[in-house]
C-alpha cells in the first residue's frame, strides 16, 4: 500500500466525522472519504454530487460506468478503475468483458453506436477539454438533452475525482485488487 501525500484520517476519526455529516459507513470506510472528511462540508457536497449522478441520473447506468472506467483507464487512476470495476459489476450488473474492452474500445466489437459515441465523447473531453462537433452531433442523435447534460457532468465529476486520487497518491482500499481483472494498468509493459 502506498502512502497518501495527505495523511488519511484514522478509521475512528473518519467514522465520527462521517456520522456527524450523515455519510453512511459503507461510503466512509473508503480511503477517499478518509481524505475528503478532512474537509467535511466538501465531502458532503462530493457525496451528494456523485450519488446523484450514480443513482438518480437519466443517463443509463451502463453508459455512465463505461465513461467512468474509460476515465480511470486513460488517466491511469488505479483507485478509480478498481472502485468502478466492482461498482459496475456488483451494483449495476455490467458484463466484465465489456468493462475490460473499455481499455481499447475502438478495436472492440462489444460496443454499439451509443456506447461508441459516449466513449468518444469521454476521450475527447479528456484530451481536448470539450466534446467536438462531430461527437456532439452523434450524442444528440442518440440521447435526449438531459442525458447529454448528465454525461457531461459524469465526465467532469469523475475526471475531477481522478485528479484528486492521482494527485494525492490515494492508496487502494484494504482488500481491493489493483487493476482488475488482470492487474494490468494502462502503462504495463
Q: What is the DSSP letter of 98?
A: H
Where helices occur in 8-39 by DSSP H, the ranges are 11-21, 25-28, 31-36
Cell of 88: 459496475
| Average pLDDT for the chain | 96
What pLDDT, on the 0 to 100 scale, is given for residue 188?
A: 75
Options 1.25.40.10, 2.60.40.10, 1.20.1290.10, 3.10.560.10; CATH for 58-183 is: 1.20.1290.10
* pLDDT per residue as tens digits for the range 120-130: 999 999 999 99
Residue 72 is inside which H or E element, if any? helix 61-74
**pTM of the complete model:** 0.96
Cell of 118: 459516449
Cell of 183: 492487474
* pLDDT per residue as tens digits for the range 58-117: 999 999 999 999 999 999 999 999 999 999 999 999 999 999 999 999 999 999 999 999
What's the rounded mean pLDDT across residues 132-138?
97
What pLDDT, on the 0 to 100 scale, is given for residue 1?
A: 54
What pLDDT, on the 0 to 100 scale, is given for residue 189?
A: 55
Amino acid at each position: 500500500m502506498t502512502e497518501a501525500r495527505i495523511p488519511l484520517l484514522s478509521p475512528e476519526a473518519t467514522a465520527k466525522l462521517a456520522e456527524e455529516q450523515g455519510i453512511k459507513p459503507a461510503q466512509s470506510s473508503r480511503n477517499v472519504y478518509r481524505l475528503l472528511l478532512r474537509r467535511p462540508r466538501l465531502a458532503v457536497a462530493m457525496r451528494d454530487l456523485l450519488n446523484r449522478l450514480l443513482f438518480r441520473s437519466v443517463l443509463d447506468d451502463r453508459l455512465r460506468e463505461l465513461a467512468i472506467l474509460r476515465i480511470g483507464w486513460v488517466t491511469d487512476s488505479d483507485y478509480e478503475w478498481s472502485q468502478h470495476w466492482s461498482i459496475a459489476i456488483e451494483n449495476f450488473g455490467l458484463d466484465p468483458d465489456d468493462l475490460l474492452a473499455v481499455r481499447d474500445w475502438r478495436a472492440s466489437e462489444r460496443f454499439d453506436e451509443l456506447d461508441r459515441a459516449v466513449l468518444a465523447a469521454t476521450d475527447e473531453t479528456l484530451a481536448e477539454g470539450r466534446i467536438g462537433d462531430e461527437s456532439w452531433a452523434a450524442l444528440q442523435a442518440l440521447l435526449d438533452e438531459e442525458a447529454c447534460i448528465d454525461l457531461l457532468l459524469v465526465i467532469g465529476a469523475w475526471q475531477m475525482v481522478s485528479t484528486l486520487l492521482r494527485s494525492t497518491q490515494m492508496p487502494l482500499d484494504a482488500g481491493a485488487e489493483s487493476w482488475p481483472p488482470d492487474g494490468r494498468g494502462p502503462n504495463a509493459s
